[in-house]
Each structure stands twice: as structure tokens, then as C-alpha cells.
Amino acid sequence: MATRRALLKATMTTAMGLSPLRALAQAPSPNPSSGPGSMPGAVMSTLAAYMSAARTRALPQDVSEQAKFHLLDTMAAMISGSELPPGQAAQRHIREHGGNGPATIVGTAFTAPPIDAALANGMMAHADETDDSHNESRSHPGCAVVPAALATGEISGIDGSGLLRSVTLGYDIGTRVVLAMGGAAFSYESSLSTHSIAGTFGAAAAASCAVGLDTRQMRWALDYTAQQSSGFTAWRRDTDHIEKAFVFAGKTARDGVTAALLVQSGWNGVDDIFSGPDNFFAAYAPKAQPEKLIEKLGERYEITQTDIKKWTVGSPIQGALDGIEAIGSKKPFDADQVKKVTVRLAPSVANVV
């Protein structure tokens, strides 16, 4: 884990104009004392150190304000989603197969263990298309990250600032994993769901931050996250949005919280799942650029690059609705006057909506 001296050095160098990421990267790596993994590579060392320091590192004011909007936006999606089929299905599952616990199921009067709460709240957060969207990684960060942060934050007793830091870290890590894999271009070439991959890593980062994992534990949490990372774009054939909600949010929030709590309870793992034999990228994206995991980390906050939707529909059709609104403002019309609407979209996104 990062030593007190390393963190102090990071703080001092930040005050002198050096970014938190560069400061942590220059700190000496501690000698491992336990666990089965080999020494981590430079990317993982920097990434894990950054993640472990996030719980107490102040966010820039503009980033903190943006995080509040995304937190509230996702909470609103959960509340509205609690009455929709995916939300109802999740609540039914928890009532029948879950148990009592300390974590809140949003929009209901009952509580559950944090892993179950993350699943239910995630399903509700993506019960329709209200939640936010990150275009470059082709993911929906909020619906996975926020439920994971809420569930673990509630059992850890973190305050509002800690919650915002956990959420912000989740957006940064989940999206960067997909960006390292190739971003949006990768998503168009693969049957893997980038929404699920980004969501799972984002949820794990947020949950791990909320429960206060140290540097080495962060590496292990990423390992168990990678082992759970899956999801395929077959969700496009789901006509009821229930499987889609599971792939984007319910599963991802649940798995991220699971990874964090496994490590918190004492599990160890591989020290660097992103490099070495049989690593994550070798399995899923052999052409990946792992260095993108830490590119501008601490300088470019992905939560500021994430869109809050104006319309409660998929991102590819937002522009079409903007067009209808613009037409209506210039020449008002009633619904019964509309005979036909033709929308032309690129083939790569048309099948999404």
C-alpha cells in the first residue's frame, strides 16, 4: 500500500504544481508482504496508488459540483425506475431470495445486504433510458457506479464528500478500462458489452473507495472485478429492458460491490490483472493500450465528460428529438397532425434504439 511518506510526498508535490498522479507514480513502491501475485507493473502501481488515495483527496470544485448533478440524476432514475418492470423485477427477487441488511433499496420501505441493494438499485437506475451516458467509452457510468457507492457508503458511514469522491473515481476507472480496450471503436467490433465492462470496473472502484481499501487491496479488487467482467450485446434483443438493465447496471453494481467486499474481508489475489500471463486485456482486447488506464488521471475527470440526458431515450436518438422540438418551436403542431416521422441513423447505432 502507499506509505505515509509516499502520500505526504504526493501532497507536497501537488502543492508545488505536480499532479497527484505524477506524484504517486514517483513514490517508491513498497515491498509486498503477502499474497500470491507477482510485482505489479508500472501502470497498475500508479493506478492502484491513485485509487487508494482518492477517498481523502479533495476534488476540484467544478468536478465536485458536476458529481452532485450526476448523483442526483441517477437517484432520480432509481426512483422513477422503482415503478417500472426492471425495478419491480429486482424488488421481487430481493424480497423472495434476499435478506434484511443495512443498505437501502431506493424507492421502497425495505433494506437488504449491500450486494443485494446494489443489484436492485442498479436495475432501477437503468429501468429506462433516464440515466447518464459516456460516449467515448460507450457506457452508462451512473447506473452502475452510484448504486455501488451508495450501498458500500451506507455500511461504511462515509459523508457526502466521501460519497462524491467514490462516485467520481468510479467514473474515472470504469470508462478508462474501456478506453484502454479501444473505446467506442472496440464496442462496434466486439460482441462484448462495453456498458457492462465499464460498469463493473466503475462500480468496483467506487465501492473499494467507499470501504477504504489500501493500495494493494485495490489491485486485488481489480483482479476480482476482471474475473467477474462479462456481458454481451445480446441485450439488444431484449424487448422488455429487463436483461438490458441487468447487463448495464444490476449485474455490474452487484459484481463491483462483491469484489470490494471480498477483498475487505481478507481475500487476496493477483497483483496485476492488466499485465503478465493470461491477463484481462490478453483475453478480451489483445490490441489494448494499457497506458490509457492512467492517461491524464487526476487531470481529466470522466464525470465531466459524461452526458446527462435531456430526453428519456437512448443516446443515439437524442438528436432526433432535439430536431422535433426545434421544428415545433418554429411551427407548432398537435400530435394528431403528425402522420409519419422518418428518422435516419447510422447502422451502428440504429439497432440500439
Summarize pLDDT for 217-276 with one digit per residue, the tens: 999 999 999 999 999 999 989 989 999 999 999 999 999 999 999 999 999 999 999 999
Q: In angstroms, rounded to a whole number, what is the distance separating the alpha carbons of residues 135 and 19? A: 26
Residue spans per domain, the chain = 37-309, 317-350
Summarize pLDDT for 266-301 with one digit per residue, the tens: 999 999 999 999 999 999 999 999 999 999 999 999
Q: What is the pLDDT, as a whole number, of residue 166?
A: 99
Q: What is the pLDDT, as a whole number, of residue 31?
A: 41
Q: How many CA atoms lie within 13 A of 168 on its CB side?
A: 30
> How many other C-beta atoms are found inside a 10 Å radius of the C-beta of residue 340?
4
pTM (predicted TM-score): 0.87
- The dotted CATH code for 37-309 is 1.10.4100.10
Closest CA to 210 of 114, 68, 338: 114
Q: In angstroms, rounded to a whole number, what is the distance separating the alpha carbons of residues 259 and 244? A: 22
Closest CA to 257 of 224, 294, 295, 301: 224
Q: 280-289, 313-322, 337-346: which has the highest mean pLDDT? A: 280-289
**Cell digits of residue 155:** 455500511
